[in-house]
Amino acid sequence: MRILVDTNVLADVVHNDKVWAPWAQMQLARYSDGLVTNLMVYSELCYHAESHAEVDALLKEFGLIWDELPRQALFLASRAFQAYRQRGGTKTSPLPDFFIGAHAQIAGLPILTRDAGRYKTYFPTVPLISP
């Protein structure tokens, strides 16, 4: 089974979060045969990295499979952002979670995340693996 991994799960392991790292490690081990990433997760991981090679090594360490964002997902992310703004959201550009959620919905992938709120709101049909 392929599963799209949210950035927070990987960051919890990398930064050894006292609360969330044990849960994240257990989930990554449980689903290790089909972990998927995309450019949004990659970009978010780069924020604390010294180089792209460091992030590439991290993806390899976790056995993450690269998956491109389909154009349909990009369109769906824009619609989620539109709904967010109509609900009073103040950000001026689409949030990474919109791209991750849209990717999961279009590709039929569940999302492994510890932050399910925005996904439940804007992508209610996407299965979530969360605490």
pLDDT per position as a tens digit, 97-125: 999 999 999 999 999 999 999 999 999 99
Task: Specify the pLDDT at position 131.
Answer: 93
Domain that holds residue 96: 3-129
CA gap 78, 26 in Å, rounded: 33
Q: Is 27 helix (H, G, I), strand (E, B) or coil?
A: helix
Burial of 113 (0-12, 13-18, 19+ CB in 10 A): buried
CATH number at residue 51: 3.40.50.1010
Task: Specify the pLDDT at position 7.
Answer: 96
Question: Which residues, in sequence order, are CB contacts of 89 under 8 Å at separation 6+?
Answer: 81
Over residues 37-52, the mean pLDDT reads 95
Domain count, the chain: 1
Is the pTM here over 0.75, yes or no?
Answer: yes
CA gap 67, 52 in Å, rounded: 17
